[in-house]
Every structure is written in structure tokens, then in C-alpha cells.
Amino acid sequence: MTTEHFEFSAYETGITKPSLGTKYTLNGNNNENFKRYQDAFDDSPTNAFIIKTIVNYIIGEGIEDKSGKINPYAYISKQDLRLICFDFKLFGQAFPQIINYQKKPIKIKHTPVLRVGLNIDTDPKSNDYMEVNGYWYCWDYLQKYKFAPKLVAKFDLKENDNTYEIQHIKQLSSEPYFPYPDYFSGLKSAKIESALIDDAVNHVLRGFQGKTIINVNNGDMVGVDEKDVLIKQIKKDWTGTENSDGVTVSINESADQAIVVDTIEPRGRNDQFVTYDETCEIKLMAAHSSMNILFQRPGSSGFSNNADEIATATDSLYLGVINPMREILLENLNLIFKKIDSACNIDFINFGQEKLIAND
């Protein structure tokens, strides 16, 4: 019997460095890093729940101009505001597009991060060497020869003749061009949760069976081509085409006539699943710095529905997570709105907070 030795390397998140040195700098090859974050949202219910809940808290009941000078929703729709906040949380950044008329912003629109690249000044003699001085927009960077990228000006506080501008709102990160999202350390946990779900789906499709081995004896009486046909037919009859990998067919040269079916079930499978599932949930909450308030479940171990404790947890969520994100978003949004009216003071409205009535 031959024994093979396998070395397992640590799981990598798959995040690559920006594609510096090209005409347009993307977040990985064709913005693949953004796709990684999107997959962590699509494939991990816990991660998706936390992100959506935090975005809801960030937005609250919307925005207002505390000076009462303008109605913010005359310039940005509620949908665009939500999408900008969602991108900021999910991808660690957002790219609102500013549409100008007569050198003043008239609309603020959401731009999907997957469609944006950076234009970096690579002239060593320039005062802005390696600084971002514009943005590239492409409908699909996988088909950039079909959808040619277009250069869009960087948002400028000064009056200019640009019809379209893009502002880059970034989370705090050590990465200068494409910051990591704040939950970056939870990507592995999101991947594990996704793998657990895939395993559960396969387990159900196998009829709650473990790995199955079908031994077909007297294999010396079957030709090579006949063996292939027999294996495919048995897999199809036993499992269907969706789950043929769950069955191993072994054709043996033996005197026994009977077909023997063996099922291999991993030890403690259910306990392992529950342990990893609960661990992923806890790790993702920790990565998002939101431990208690998001998972209030009356009667659950470790969680309380006491009103005072819920209020304390909510305050902690605002202080530690929501307010720091709002601060960055508002700093950037106010730069745009102050170009509309210098007296503007845009702010988010907490749930249940009294709104100011802005003049149209």
C-alpha cells in the first residue's frame, strides 16, 4: 500500500495588489478583489446580515441639511444614498458621481465600484507623482475592448467646466489606493460558512448519505470500455447527474458475485458542522466589531432581551461602528453639498430622531 504525504498551506483570501503600471489601475486583475468581497456577501448569510444591518443603522431615517438651506433629496435619491453607503461598508469605499451644470452640482449618483479604475500620475517629474488625478469608468473590465473605459475627472472643490466628476470615499486603511473593508479579517470565516452551506446542500442531494462506495465484483470479466459505461450508469442510477461525485464505483476481480455497497460517514459530522457554524458567526461579528445588538435572540444563551442592556449595546454600536463610518461619509458628502451651498451641513438622522424641515 502506497501512502502519499500532503502538505496543506494556509487558506488565502485571494486578495491581490492593485494593477499598478497600467493605463488604469484596478483593484486586482479586472477589479477581482471587489468580486471577492461581493462573494463573501453573497455566499455567507451571517456576513450579509451584518452588513445590511449596519448599513440600515448608518442611514437611519435618512439625511437632512441642519442649516435648512436645501433639501438633500433634490440632489441625491434615497436609492443612490443607500447604494453609496452599502458600497462603503461592503467594499471599504464608494465612488459617488457628481453631475454638474453651470459649474454647480445638480445630481449625486451612485457608481458601482466594479466599474471604476484609478488614473494615477506616473510622471516622476510631476508634483502629484503617484497621486490619483482621475477615474476610469468601464461597464465591464472583462470586456474592456468592447466597452472602452472613459476617463472621468476627479471631484474638485473649485469651480470647473467638468460635467462629470467622481469622488472616492474611503474607509481608514493602510492601503493607499483601494482600502480593505473594515471586516477584512472575517473573509476566511465567510468562506468557511459558505463551504459549510455547500457541504450541507450536497449532503441533502445525496439523500443524507455519506461517501458511498459500490463494489462490483468479477471485474476481470468486464472490458475497459464496458467498465467506463458501467461506472457512469451506476452513478447516474444511484445519485443522478447532479451528485455523481458522492459515489465511488469499484470494479473488483473477485469470485464473489454480489454487489457490495458501503457508506462512509465522517465521525461527529453534525457536531463539527454546528461548532464551525457557531465559530464563523462569532468571528464575523468580531470582524465587524458588532457583537451584541445585531444578534438579539430572546432566550438564547449569552444574549439578553433586557431593555437596559439592549440600549447599552445599541449605544456601543453607534459609538464604535456607526458613528465612525458616518463621520467619513459625511465629511465627503458635505464637500459636495457645500459646493451647492456653502452653508449646508448634511447629517444623518437616527431612528426615531425628530427631523428638521428643509426649505426647497
CA distances from 182 to 41, 185, 224, 288, 352 (A): 14, 8, 56, 7, 27
Residue corresponding to grid cell 434615497: 78
Report the pLDDT value the prediction gives residue 68, as an integer from 0 to 100: 94
Kindly report the pTM of this predicted structure: 0.79
Q: What is the 3-state secondary structure (H, E, C) of the chain?
A: CCCCCCCCCCCCCCCCCCCCCCCCECCCHHHHHHHHHHHHHHCCHHHHHHHHHHHHHHHECCEEECCCCCCHHHCCCHHHHHHHHHHHHHHCEECCEEEEECCEEEEEECCCHHHEEEEECCCCCCCCCCCEEEEEECCCHHHCCCCCCEEEEECCCCCCCCCEEECCEECCCCCCCCCCCCCHHHHHHHHHHHHHHHHHHHHHHCCCCCEEEEEECCHHHCCHHHHHHHHHHHHHHHHCHHHHHHEEEEECCCCCCCCEEEEECCCCHHHHHHHHHHHHHHHHHHHCCCCCHHHCCCCCCCCCCCHHHHHHHHHHHHHHHHHHHHHHHHHHHHHHHHHHCCCCCEEEECCCCCCCCCCC
pLDDT of residue 76: 98
The residue among 248, 252, 250 whose CA lies nearest residue 221 is 252
Q: What pLDDT tens digit does each residue of the chain (360 aa) get?
A: 444 444 444 446 678 888 777 889 999 999 999 999 999 999 999 999 999 999 999 999 999 999 999 999 999 999 999 999 999 999 999 999 999 999 999 999 999 999 999 999 988 898 889 999 999 999 999 998 899 999 999 999 998 999 999 999 999 988 899 999 999 999 999 999 999 888 777 767 666 666 666 766 666 666 777 777 777 777 666 655 455 455 566 666 655 555 566 666 666 667 777 887 889 999 999 999 876 556 554 444 444 557 777 777 788 889 999 999 999 999 999 999 999 999 999 999 998 776 655 554
Cα distances from 352 to residues 87, 95, 107, 199, in angstroms, run 25, 29, 28, 43
Spans of all domains in the chain: 29-182+323-348, 190-269
Bridge pairing between strands 247-251 and 211-216 = parallel
Per-residue pLDDT at 6: 45
Whole-number Å distance between alpha carbons of 102 and 62: 28
| Cα–Cα nearest to 249, from 212, 207, 206, 210 | 212
Q: What angle do CA 284, 84, 136 make, to 5 degrees?
A: 110
User: Which cell goes with 69?
Assistant: 438651506
